[in-house]
Structure 1
Amino acid sequence: MNWAERISPVVTSIPPSGIRRFFDIAAEMKGVISLGVGEPDFVTPWHIRESCVHGLHRGYTAYTSNYGLLELREEIARNIYNNYKVTYDPRREVLVTVGVSEALDLAVRALLSPGDQVLIPEPCYVSYKACVILAGGQPVPVPTALENEFRVTVEQLEKLVTPRTKALLIGYPNNPTGAIMPMQELAAIARFAKKHDLIVISDEIYADLTYQGSHTCFASLPDMRDRTILLNGFSKAYAMTGWRIGYALSNPDFIAAMNKIHQYTMLCAPITAQVAAVEALRHGKDKMEKMVAEYNGRRHLMLKGLRGMGLTCFEPKGAFYIFPSIRETGLTSVQFAEELLKTEKVAVVPGDAFGESGEGFVRCSYASSINNLTEALERIERFIKRLNESG
């Protein structure tokens, strides 16, 4: 039997993650410095891990409510209010998920009907388009550019909105570019969403990793709370990637719809991880801020180093990625990444993995030690020099 013929054509049409491809190659090579996967190099702070151990000792090994531990939902709602002055009912408007990835998947599946269009500014996280396609929707890429620091504009959105457009999916601070959106520009997008009666899915997983100014929560904008599906989690800011804890906040009817899918697939997020998330929100701010300060120092190191070797690179103001242009080398994004990995053993991700507008760039994660980043910069500079000499 030919199993390839039995696989859903929708699944077959979706390419594998461009991030994971280079991560898998790098994992099989010795001496590689990986700037590929967006994972903090910090271990989850001890007090957070200890809360999990303590919970296990107390026998916390059972299912929780499908919605998640009420204690955690209360802390999430309190945190959102304290930071952004947006109020959510922890009993009806908060859903704890298995990472933000599940929250995104549930959101688009609960929202979209076959053929519904979703506007997605690019470059963007690799899961956005795939999740929309798997939900039966049609992703509509909205290209952004280096010249505007990869910020999407209302003018761009107006050119692509149609009567079939149902939602706008945004993620700022942005993965892969590190771009942020000033409040006044987000407010203009909010007015656009209201004008066209769109739902906004706002992925704010990097909200706490904002280095200049303060993060604007999309739901805090005028008239946007009840038009927004707000997604966030613990992976990046609290160095809790493997714990797989995220959450969604929205209208109670919509959260109930998301939960309907969640209860038939995941049932609930792991209780031990939920206990750890409670501890992170209650007592993890100081440790989180120290990690963010460390990322900020690395951000400056990478920006100076990449510009110093002649690469055009705008200053990322959020997340922990930098997105240099490699157009000057004459190589495509994939060629550059493959040659760099083969000759200098530095793994970066080709920009086109994040959409067509990412072609001509590569994503470098600076969620790595200063020593690794310094060595990686030396290897990249050596690679660039050889390209210049041979060109």
Structure 2
Amino acid sequence: MANTSDLPAVVIPFYNRDKVIPPEPQEKQTFHARCHCGNVEFDLTIPTAILPLNAYICSCSSCRYTRGALCSLHVALPQTISPEWTNGRINVSVHKSPGSGAGGHGQRLFCPTCGVRVGLFEPRMAQWVVSTSLFRDTTAGPLFWSVTCFGFYKSPRDGGLLSWLPDGVGGKPLHLGTVPYDFPPDEALSIRPDGTEWLCVACFCGGVAFEIPRPAEAVRGDPHMARCVAPPLEKDNDEDKGEGKGKWKWKAYMDFGGDSWALSGAQGMPWVQVPRAVLSPAVPTTLEFGTVKTYKVSSTLTTGFCEYCGARVFLRDEEEGKKEADKGTEVLNVALGLLRAPEGAKAEDWVVWRAGRPEGVEEGKRFDGEFVDAMAEGMRRWGLDRYGEALEFDIV
């Protein structure tokens, strides 16, 4: 177990080691956590004197590829606080990163039914670390966390989520921290015999893997599939504007709505829209292949996640599926955090971001207004710089 005096200074706020719990008696507040399906539920009882706790964003490759998001968002609980399981059981799946050594280090817990990330117990720190997106009871009063830290900020190579938070969160700059170990991703493009480029999409464990091409003429010429092709951008022809000049790209967007919030483990989910018919190898209409397990989010939404490592893979609108599946033109939301783009986590050589109008902003602000406001404004400013305008195109 690490003592605070033994820790690098940068780590202390990440693990809330700067929070001193006062002696009893003390005023406390209880917060309820629940995965999307309700299979995993627990309470946290926290002294109000140490609130809010610091929450941290992590954009290491394992967090991105075990979620399908651009990051994870966690709160490390003080050492004397742990989850109080409230539904009579602890029913979680466990994924352990290869090479993480003996014991609990490198283990990540998620719900085996809906795939929602629960968190982990970090034995080296003797602390529980929980996903903030499990806490969605807006009647419980103020949040018990504030996003103050950002870890592994160099891992995405293109800034990742940090490029959308230039001023931090809530007007406060973020504490940046990283360590010299990360899982090196495999990010080489596949070049077919005809010279076409294909981009790998894969979860952390590799149980789910497929490739997407660029939007071909057949896609651009189809009235329905063309709706997920990004509009051409003049800025892509500027030599100083990065990757992807003169290439057709797919539409990408951030979704802060309630379902994406709950499913992501990151308080917001990045999606890229791609027709199912172009994926290789072919993805069945059930979405179940490799280690994909499906979960019915609602009467109109189905999601797919890796049942081994928990990565979110797909989100499908069932009305969209019914109308278009037989014609082979069904459009899927693919978890953008799984794209293995060589240029960086935001995959700018392959997608155009709807930076001016993220999805579900007002709903997301009910859960964490500071974070969502900062993200929406940061994306708008980034879009103005990157594209010359904050794009607001429609999505399928």
| TM-score where L is the length of structure 2 | 0.22
Structure showing the higher helix proportion among its residues = 1
Higher RCO (C-alpha 8 Å, min separation 6): 1
TM-score, scaled relative to structure 1: 0.22
More strand by percentage: 2
